[in-house]
Amino acid sequence: DQQVKQNSPSLSVQEGRISILNCDYTNSMFDYFLWYKKYPAEGPTFLISISSIKDKNEDGRFTVFLNKSAKHLSLHIVPSQPGDSAVYFCAGGQGAQKLVFGQGTRLTINP
Amino acid sequence: DVKVTQSSRYLVKRTGEKVFLECVQDMDHENMFWYRQDPGLGLRLIYFSYDVKMKEKGDIPEGYSVSREKKERFSLILESASTNQTSMYLCASSFAQGPLHFGNGTRLTVT
The shortest CB-CB distance from B42 to any of A41, A42, A101 is to A101
**What is the residue extent of each domain of chain A?**
4-106
For strands A105-110 and A10-14, give the pairing.
parallel
For residue B88, pLDDT over 90 is answered with yes
For residue A20, pLDDT over 90 is answered with yes
How many domains would you assign to chain B?
1
Q: Do residues B4 and B23 lie in contact, with contact meaning Cβ atoms separated by under 8 Å?
A: yes
Mean model confidence pLDDT for chain A: 95
For residue B14, the model assigns a pLDDT of 97
Tell me: cis bond preceding B39? Omega within 30 of 0 counts: no
Give the tens place of pLDDT for each residue, B5-56. Answer: 998 999 999 999 999 999 999 999 999 999 999 988 999 999 999 999 899 9
Within an 8 Å CB–CB cutoff, is residue B102 touching chain A? yes
| Residue A63 CA neighbour count, 13 Å, CB half | 11
CATH of the domain at B60: 2.60.40.10
For residue B65, pLDDT over 70 is answered with yes
Q: Indicate the pLDDT class of residue A2, thresholds 50, 70 and 90.
A: confident
For residue A97, pLDDT over 80 is answered with no
What architecture is domain A4-106? Answer: Sandwich (2.60)
Give residues 32 to 71 of A whose Cβ lies within 8 Å of B: 34, 36, 41-46, 49
| Neighboring chain B residues of A106 at a CB cutoff of 8 Å | none
| Neighboring chain A residues of B35 at a CB cutoff of 8 Å | 101
| Neighboring chain B residues of A49 at a CB cutoff of 8 Å | 99
Write out the DSSP string of chain A.
--SEE---SEEEEETTS-EEEEEEE--TT--EEEEEEE-TTS--EEEEEEETT-SEEEETTEEEEEETTTTEEEEEESS--GGG-EEEEEEEESSSSS-EE---EEEEEE-
Cβ pair B45:A100 closer than 8 A: yes
For residue B2, pLDDT over 70 is answered with no
| Whole-number Å distance between alpha carbons of A42 and A32 | 24
For residue A78, the model assigns a pLDDT of 97
Tell me the residue range of the domain where B9 lies. Answer: 4-110
B30 Cα to chain A: minimum distance (Å): 11
| Neighboring chain B residues of A6 at a CB cutoff of 8 Å | 42
For residue B96, the model assigns a pLDDT of 84
Cβ pair B104:A42 closer than 8 A: yes
Give the tens place of pLDDT for each residue, A27-65. Answer: 999 999 999 999 998 999 999 999 999 999 999 999 999
